[in-house]
A and B are shown apart, each in its own frame.
Chain A
């Protein structure tokens, strides 16, 4: 475990995640975890919130209000996971296409207690993803094939069928999925995909159309 950087590492975090990741850890795994833990080791967030009287009309983008966190490598892992959770299909782009990973970066970088609670879990989880991909496939998660990414995610996705050694990673996955959905379905493309057709002024509100009433047996 010793490395030149060991004093800057959050060793306890790295060890916790590694132990849940695999019984026999490869060299790559050790180095990867250490490196990622160092990058994430949970620097406190910077910047200020938008205050109690922000301009509500302005258009805000991630990074406008407080500095973002992701390193290139974390950003690549997050983008790749976004694309696995919400991939492109014939109805809409992927969460990665819509840069939902930037929203997740904004979220974990926010100077607010509720959002900051997600920070360690997301950063450690992204590091774990890379470690796990290296352990299994000798490459970072973002560089893995879809089949390889799916193999990892299948071990994490269903909260009712997670093996004990993936418990922490599964919690990360569940939370990441929630955030990905928040980021994706709040865009015009995501709203269209899910079937939200409001937010336009109408001259009258006519209630559900006949097709809906018929389907509900309410004619």
Chain B
């Protein structure tokens, strides 16, 4: 990709976008394709999945059989570069030493950010998810409704390519005809769970993921996505023509050299660059948004990592898309006489109400899946099926002791063996070794299952981040300190997950590896562990009780937008990335309109 050094950047841009993942990629794409001059700042290095993805490499070609290490937290072949639970020289801190109150923060420093490795699960928020307070009196309503976002869900799904079906479940919106790609066939274990899940009322259906199960029809889609903009249409058709359909091998977390999965680096950034309106500056660590005497943003101050020097870039508007935590950190570090508490923080709510997804798992084994005839179960490099939340009615009627729902994810089957494989089924072997061990491995491989709950967390006063008063990163920038505490809403939900998973194993004639947790507090994963952290600059209809408005724009500074998950006023069980992209596109449209009107 054509990239820049600090010396070659233009003196001024229409928009500077901070971050190049789902939010930054979408922002840069929409703005550049529609004619704005954009500079994108990325804190990490440039990255090209087409040449760098280890597509078919086997674990025995990697150090330690590709096992996880503190250099590669997701395993050697995971696409994460310069990141993970820790980034060298760039710490974050926890206010509590209690392990149950810690927050984990997955960051990375590379072009495309976390879109390179994410699970690609792309579920729409439903109507309830934008008005949760109206339904049960907890948390906050968004200042927008599903109908406001629906057109952007359509557009994002068409642009990035999402497979799935319209099942018509409550609060799981339908995509219009011609938007979704056909889902892959379910694997043996997914079909088996689907069949037997019915006995206990758990519906298992095709999931939605951003993987091309067939090639995109750019000639049909481009005019819908860029009406009246033939130049953008031509560029998009060319970009879609360069993407291949899934080749049904290798896990998406490695990234995809044939561009079959959505990654910002293969889907958003190439057409945006081809428009001639986008410059990308890697190794540029944003520190703060600069402000003029009238409280208007003038650009971004960043550290050029190659030289360690501080630079400035000027722009008419700033879009923060660094990931919710990093965007909050930039706002808090943007202190001035006008904004001594940090930018856009007159409400005092920057950093408040951070949320993750509620996560818990239960493992088990299903004898019916033993010794199946050999067949290829790689599939689309991730989940094919899921169980959408199915108990809205019971919950609304007060029959459950927790207020919000969860969906179930599981990846079944005969996936590529990796380091630690024996942990999956070794517990079934009674300590065998020798020939019997080899026979046990053939028998039990692929017969184990791990159900993972992904639930809605309600924002609470105990979960927030702030600037650490003393700790700075290696660039001298103050770091975030996290406060975290799960509420009973979440731990009770986890208890229900555990009971459900045990019942699923029972329905399939299987057995659990360990009994379901009697107390949800013992099974709930740490905050941040699911890597769905959102909030910290929540949107609302009142500047006193929110940081951003219905357009993801900060109330205090009219030319600063926050395009990542920070404006989320709630965190539905649905994985946040699709919604981040839809809101980023919507915010970019608003920014373009404001610039055209001369308001910015």
| Chain A residues proximal to chain B, CB less than 8 Å | 49-54, 56-60, 64-65, 84-87, 89, 91-92, 103, 106-107, 110, 112-115, 150, 153, 157-161, 174, 177-178, 181-183, 185-188, 190-191, 193-202, 204-209, 211-213, 215-218
Contacts and interface: CB of A to CB of B under 8 A. Distances in A.
Contact of B62 (A60, A87, A113, A196): A60
Given A52-B88, A56-B62, A115-B67, 17 more contacts: A52-B83, A53-B45, A54-B76, A56-B52, A84-B433, A103-B60, A115-B69, A178-B423, A182-B419, A185-B422, A186-B58, A191-B58, A193-B442, A195-B374, A200-B249, A202-B248, A204-B248
B65 interface: yes
Contact of B433 (A58, A157, A208, A213): A157
B411 interface: no
Nearest to B88: A52
Nearest to B378: A198
A206 B446 CA distance: 18
A110 B378 contact: no
20 contacts: A56-B52, A57-B54, A103-B65, A112-B69, A177-B426, A177-B437, A178-B423, A182-B422, A198-B378, A199-B249, A202-B247, A202-B248, A204-B248, A205-B248, A209-B373, A209-B375, A213-B188, A216-B188, A216-B191, A218-B191
Task: Return the 10 tightest CB-CB contacts between A and B, nearest first.
Answer: A207-B185, A158-B431, A181-B422, A198-B378, A186-B59, A201-B247, A185-B417, A202-B248, A157-B431, A208-B188
Given A195-B445, A212-B373, A201 B249 contact: yes
Interface string B425-459: 01000111111011001100110000000000000
Given A49-B71, A114-B70, A185 B373 contact: no
Contact of B414 (A49, A198, A211, A216): A198
Contacts of B414: 195-198
A187 B62 CA distance: 11
A84 B432 CA distance: 11
A50 B191 contact: no
B188 A194 contact: no
A182 B185 contact: no
Nearest to A170: B431
Nearest to A107: B64
Contacts of A177: 422, 426, 431, 433, 437
A186 B60 contact: yes
B63 interface: yes
B429 to A, nearest CB: 9
Contact of B368 (A106, A187, A207, A216): A216
A97 to B, nearest CB: 13
Contact of A112 (B70, B81, B446): B70
Contacts of B432: 157
Nearest to B78: A56
A205 B438 CA distance: 29
Given A60-B62, A84-B434, A110-B69, A198 B420 contact: no
A217 B61 CA distance: 39
A53 B434 CA distance: 39
Chain B interface helix/strand/loop/mixed: loop
B184 interface: yes
B558 interface: no
A52 B192 CA distance: 40
A110 B62 CA distance: 13
Contacts of B438: 86-87, 89, 91-92, 193
A161 B368 CA distance: 28
Q: In this complex, which of A58, A59, A86, A185 has the most chain B Cβ atoms within 10 angstroms of its Cβ? A: A185
Nearest to A103: B65
Contacts of B63: 50, 54, 60, 64-65, 106, 110
B135 to A, nearest CB: 37
Nearest to B380: A205
A91 B64 CA distance: 25
B189 to A, nearest CB: 9
B69 A178 contact: no
Contacts of A209: 373, 375
B588 to A, nearest CB: 31
Interface in B1-53: 45, 52-53
A101 to B, nearest CB: 13
A59 B187 CA distance: 32
B421 interface: yes
Nearest to A51: B71
B474 interface: no
A213 B375 CA distance: 12
Contacts of B57: 56-57
B65 A182 contact: yes
Contacts of A187: 58, 60
A53 B369 CA distance: 39
A52 B379 CA distance: 29
A181 B188 contact: no
Given A106-B63, A110-B64, A115-B69, A199 B77 contact: no
B543 to A, nearest CB: 41
Nearest to B186: A207
Interface in B137-192: 184-188, 191-192
Given A186-B59, A199-B249, A212-B188, A205 B422 contact: no
A180 to B, nearest CB: 8
A211 B373 contact: yes
B437 to A, nearest CB: 6
A56 B375 contact: no
Interface in B67-112: 67-72, 76-77, 81-84, 87-88
Contacts of B376: 197-198, 200, 202
B250 interface: yes
A211 B375 CA distance: 10
B462 interface: no
B374 A178 contact: no
